[in-house]
Amino acid sequence: MTSRQQASTFKLKKGVLGVVLAVAGFIGIPMARAQSPSAIDKVVQLNKKAMEDLDLADFDSAKKELLEAVSFGGKNGLETHPVMARTYVHLGALYVVGLKDKAKGQEYFGKALELQGDIKLDKNLKDNKDLQKAFSAAAANVAAAPAKTEPAAAAEPAAPAGDDENADLPSNIVALDCPTHDDTAPGKAVTLRCAAAPNLKIANVALFYKGAGMDAYEELAMEQNAKGWWVAEVPKKRVDGKSLQFFFEGRDASGKPVVSNGRAESPLIILITGNGGQSSKGVRHEDEDPLSFGDEEGGLGIGTLNTNYGNRRAWLGISVGTGGGLAWNRLEARNDLAPIKGFAFAGAGHLAPELGIMLTPNLSFAVQGRLQYIPQNSLSAKVAGRGAISALGKLSYYTAQNKNRLFFTVEGGGGDGFRFAYIPTDSKNKNLNDTIHAGNFMAGLGTGFLHEFGPHFMWVFEVNVLGGFPDFGVVADVSTGFHFGGGSTKKKAAKDMDAAATSIDELDDDK
């Protein structure tokens, strides 16, 4: 073989090798990435972290991690890997048991079954009847769906938002179905869409969203397009930071809410990716929690949800206060005067020790003492009352978990009841002070404000109005004090989530 022939053969082999490498670059590398152990491991770790948060009943954080797992898996070629199916099972369990959204949970179960038809609930999920029902319903829907002839034909729930508002409506609309992306780029307007089931007779749909720089949800009226989709667009200036939070509400012709998809306390979420955790304005929010709903700088946060607060399980409190009200009875010592009917003070004040327990993060029961003190001179002390000792049972409802919360109370109890102080204005027996009794039974309403300095120390201010009977009287108490908390409602909620604590061993087996 001549040197020219050898050179030609070398060039040919080199060319063939180049073609092979090019093919490997376009085919082999993505395939390797799809099976990358490191990518699978990261999805598994995100699932494990989410399960730890479920154990603490921190449902918002668990949702964040599972959605990140879905987003990361999709970017790394794991869309059809069994580990993704298991992630969807976890999302379904989270929504059904933790976030109380059965429709969304059933949707995620359906995605898992579409990826892996023989997937089952984890062994420690099977005893939960709600999960069983949702999973069985999802399995029935998947089985009833027409067979797919093309791999690219995605399930209806998985269809993205964006320009797909020009697509035909799905053949099966459960209620208010609003398919969305898992993530989006910052600084880009997001179009959201919903399809409403005809039997619900929806006249209009509202989108509530909260994005960058927003302290509260903003409402947008959605418009129905020619295809039948209800459509609205979130402005690009609000698509910033780490996430976009939103939910939908369908209303009838009278404006009455009929159906919703997501809720203010448990919104749908689109992760904002591609900016490395920075806002598009270049400001990094190191402590920004994309699932935090309250306690924004400069506001009280009342009515918004932030599960970092409001987790005390029980507390011991002490408050001091005073008050006054309507006296309507005879004096207890002097019988020469007519019954008192009018305003009177309740003495120097009262001490109110309290022992309480949270039944849920928003409902509590407490037992509170009312140790009233009325100072008397030496003469009056021999014949008149010097206060009253009573006990009250209090059932209180709190606004959403946050550092600052309002609460409303129904209360009742008895004992000595309460007393009003009477200082005579007549010249006769002018040094003989007296008291007016009300009770012995009491019942009333109250409201108050609680500020949480930390999980174990809170300041409380409250106003209570109590009526006494059979000796009639009404007193309005104003008091303030401190609560010393202990335990955590997250631990109690975790007991309710035992059935949703995923078997990580099963997830690892899917690798």
pLDDT tens for each residue of 127-173: 778 888 888 888 888 888 765 544 433 333 333 444 577 788 888 88
User: Which residue, 66, 70, 50, is CA-closest to 58?
Assistant: 50
Domains recognised in the chain with CATH numbers: 33-145 (1.25.40.10), 159-272 (2.60.40.10), 314-487 (2.40.160.20)
Say yes or no to pLDDT of 353 above 80. Answer: yes
Say yes or no to pLDDT of 401 above 70. Answer: yes
Give me 198's structure tokens: 């005809």
Say yes or no to pLDDT of 69 above 50. Answer: yes
What pLDDT sits at residue 382? Answer: 84
Dihedral sign for Cα 100, 102, 107, 112, please: positive
CB 286 within 8 A of CB 242: no
What pLDDT sits at residue 115? Answer: 85
For residue 431, the tally of other CB atoms under 10 A from its CB is 10
Average pLDDT over residues 420-438: 83
What pLDDT sits at residue 328? Answer: 93
- Widest CA span of the chain, in angstroms? 142
Average pLDDT over residues 48-70: 79
Say yes or no to pLDDT of 19 above 50. Answer: no
Say yes or no to pLDDT of 384 above 90. Answer: no
Average pLDDT over residues 21-43: 53
CB 88 within 8 A of CB 107: no
Average pLDDT over residues 452-465: 94
What pLDDT sits at residue 126? Answer: 67
CB 173 within 8 A of CB 200: no
What pLDDT sits at residue 299? Answer: 58
Say yes or no to pLDDT of 14 above 60. Answer: no
pLDDT tens column, 228-274: 999 999 998 888 877 888 999 999 999 899 898 888 877 888 888 75
Average pLDDT over residues 299-321: 83
Give me 165's structure tokens: 């508002």
Average pLDDT over residues 352-358: 97
Question: What letter would DSSP give residue 1?
Answer: -
- Residues ≥6 apart with Cβ < 8 Å to 410: 394, 395, 396, 445
| Average pLDDT of every residue of the chain | 79
What pLDDT sits at residue 475? Answer: 97
Judged by average pLDDT, the poorest of 6-20, 25-39, 171-185, 308-322 is 6-20
What pLDDT sits at residue 191? Answer: 92
What pLDDT sits at residue 129? Answer: 82
Give me 307's structure tokens: 């599960």
Beta strands in 374-433 (DSSP E): 387-398, 404-415, 418-422
**CA angle at 112 for the pair 110 and 117, rounded to the nearest 5°:** 90
DSSP per-residue string spanning 256-298? -EEEEES-SSS-EEEEE-SSTTB-TTS-B-TT--TT--S--TT
Q: What is the pTM of this model?
A: 0.47
Q: How far apart are CA 159 and CA 167, in angstroms?
A: 10
- pLDDT tier at 6, thresholds 50, 70, 90: very low
What pLDDT sits at residue 148? Answer: 52
Average pLDDT over residues 370-378: 93
**Percent share of the chain, pLDDT over 90:** 33
* More confidently predicted of 32 and 108: 108
- pLDDT tier at 374, thresholds 50, 70, 90: very high
Q: Across-strand partners of 405?
A: 450
Say yes or no to pLDDT of 3 above 60. Answer: no
Say yes or no to pLDDT of 396 above 80. Answer: yes
Q: How far apart are CA 311 and CA 53, in angstroms?
A: 14
User: Which residue, 45, 49, 43, 54, is CA-closest to 500?
Assistant: 54
- pLDDT tier at 50, thresholds 50, 70, 90: confident
Say yes or no to pLDDT of 363 above 90. Answer: yes
- pLDDT tier at 468, thresholds 50, 70, 90: very high
